[in-house]
């Protein structure tokens, strides 16, 4: 008897778009995309193979290793083989299973290696280490139903899973796994080479975000209860700057403009106001260390952790996770940039500008006669034709920092050679004359 999950696989991004858009809109850049709500998935979410109703399927970009969601499976099929002496047969039982696993809720290029219980099941050359029939469906919108699933369920009851990348195993031999269904993980290739942050945000938000951010990573899994949950870790870690233009979110122009000292300190109704109002957060409120969890391609996409520290030891330790595949050096640099950004944002500046700055938007850069000289607008409001802007220091990215991935005991990936059968006719050396 087979078990079939139809439309209940759920969608990580498709369903709650309306609610997500409302949650994204806000006054400042931070509130637009990051304010309130929960963070994205923990790294462990992509490592758990599930088969429950309503399970969300991530959208995969670049190259990632994911467990996927079992959307169809048969019961175990028992087989027997009898051997031994006549009258004393020895019966050996073996078991197989057939199942389908959803890997991505967007079309992908293909599947590379497959692991079962952490051991290599399918090698880089596409060879399987145990007997099975395997088919892969890339998730295009015209893919056909799987013939084997249709034979078990009936063609009328079998979906084609269009829009889902699906791996199908037929008669997977289970002897190597204790005659049970093993925990499967898949190397998924969604795009050629690396993938840009801006491209991910545009696709994952169904066009809501138009970002020109060119930062790239090896892979990313957009996963969560809403668009916001799926993209927040990416926006947060890579400091993507976006502005709400009324129709969606677009990249912020990074060009700066100079502000003269005589334009500061504007006030309405003849009142006096300070030219500059500057505040600084206490050291104890800032992180002294930051730990960043990620997936390391050099470790077969296993979880890695990069750590950045500050010179000040009195602050708290923060932990952030991002469902992205990056190298150890990239993760180290990313953690250092995140730490530098936190400390740079310690300073807050409030200016009161004349009405000619009414179109000043969050994200704009201003050059001031201060140290530091360049500041970024975080929030802009209008009070009696006075433009009240809140700013934080602009910061520059740090250079790449070398780091090691460490070592793992790699799975042996030997391709079985073809069997060649040769027959020879030899003389009987025991024959006597």
CA-wise closest residue to 307 among 279, 329, 282, 335: 335
- pLDDT per residue over 110-164, tens digit each? 999 999 999 999 999 999 999 999 999 999 999 999 999 999 999 999 999 999 9
- HEC readout, 390-403: EEEECCCCCCCCCC
Alpha helices in 78-211 (DSSP H): 147-153, 197-204
In this prediction, the residues of the chain whose per-residue pLDDT falls under 50 are 1-40
The answer to whether the CB of 344 falls within 8 A of the CB of 395 is yes
Residues 6+ positions from 143 with CB-CB distance below 8 Å: 137, 160, 161, 162
**pLDDT given for residue 29 in this prediction:** 38
Q: Is 297 helix (H, G, I), strand (E, B) or coil?
A: helix
User: Phi and psi of 362, rounded to 5°?
Assistant: -55, 135
Contact 123, 415 (CB under 8 A): yes
Rounded Cα distance, 220 and 331, in Å? 13
The full DSSP string for 334-401 is HHHHHHHHHHHTTEEEEEEE-GGGTT--TT-EEE-SSSS-EEEEEEEEEETTEEEEEEEE---PPPP-
> Over the stretch 51-75, which tens digit does the pLDDT of each residue have?
556 678 999 999 999 998 999 999 9
Quote the tokens at residue 417: 């050679």
Separation CA 228–CA 222 (nearest Å): 10
Which three-class secondary structure state does DSSP give residue 158? coil
Question: Are 219 and 325 a contacting pair, CB within 8 Å?
Answer: yes
**Residues 6 or more apart from 276 whose CB is under 8 A from it?**
264, 265, 349, 350, 351, 370
**Helix, strand, coil % in the chain, rounded to nearest 5:** 20, 35, 45
Q: Residue 428's pLDDT is what?
A: 66
**For position 171, what pLDDT does the model report?**
96
Q: Which of 106, 143, 136 shows the shortest CA–CA distance to 122?
A: 136
Check: CB of residue 102 under 8 Å from CB of residue 111.
Answer: no
CA atoms within 13 A on the CB side of 374: 10
């Amino acid at each position: 008897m087979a078990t079939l999950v139809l439309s209940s696989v759920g969608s990580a991004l498709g369903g709650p778009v309306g609610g997500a858009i409302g949650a994204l809109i806000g006054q400042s850049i931070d509130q637009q995309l990051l304010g309130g709500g929960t963070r994205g998935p923990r790294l462990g979410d992509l490592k758990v193979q599930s088969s429950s109703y309503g399970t969300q399927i991530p959208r995969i970009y670049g190259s990632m290793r994911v467990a996927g969601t079992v959307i169809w499976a048969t019961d175990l099929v028992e087989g027997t083989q009898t051997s031994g002496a006549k009258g004393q047969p020895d019966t050996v039982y073996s078991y197989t299973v057939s199942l389908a696993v959803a890997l991505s809720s967007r079309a992908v290029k293909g599947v590379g290696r497959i692991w079962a219980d952490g051991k290599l099941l399918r090698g880089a050359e596409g060879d399987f280490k145990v007997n099975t029939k395997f088919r892969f469906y890339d998730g295009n919108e015209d893919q056909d139903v799987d013939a084997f699933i249709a034979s078990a369920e009936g063609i009328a009851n079998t979906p084609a899973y269009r829009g889902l990348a699906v791996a199908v195993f037929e008669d997977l031999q289970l002897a190597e796994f204790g005659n049970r269904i093993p925990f499967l993980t898949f190397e998924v290739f969604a795009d050629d080479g690396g993938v840009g942050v801006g491209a991910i945000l545009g696709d994952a938000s169904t066009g809501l975000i138009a970002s020109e951010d060119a930062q790239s990573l090896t892979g990313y899994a957009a996963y969560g209860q809403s668009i916001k949950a799926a993209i927040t870790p990416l926006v947060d870690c890579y400091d993507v700057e976006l502005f709400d233009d009324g129709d969606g979110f677009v990249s912020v122009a990074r060009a700066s403009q100079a502000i003269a000292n005589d334009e500061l300190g504007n006030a309405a109704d003849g009142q006096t106001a300070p030219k500059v109002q500057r505040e600084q957060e206490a050291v104890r409120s800032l992180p002294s260390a930051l730990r960043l969890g990620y997936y390391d391609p050099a470790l077969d996409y296993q979880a890695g952790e990069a750590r950045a520290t500050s010179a000040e030891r009195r602050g708290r330790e923060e932990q952030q996770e991002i469902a992205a595949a990056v190298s150890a050096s990239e993760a180290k640099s990313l953690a250092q940039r995140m730490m530098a950004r936190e400390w740079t944002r310690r300073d807050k500046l409030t200016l009161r500008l004349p009405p000619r700055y009414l179109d000043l938007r969050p994200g704009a850069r201003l050059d001031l006669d201060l140290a530091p000289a360049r500041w970024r607008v975080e929030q802009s409001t209008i009070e009696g034709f006075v433009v009240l802007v809140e700013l934080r220091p602009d910061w520059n990215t740090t250079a790449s920092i070398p780091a090691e991935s460490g070592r793992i005991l790699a799975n042996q990936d030997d391709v079985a050679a073809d069997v060649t059968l040769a027959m020879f006719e030899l003389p009987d050396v025991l024959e006597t004359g």
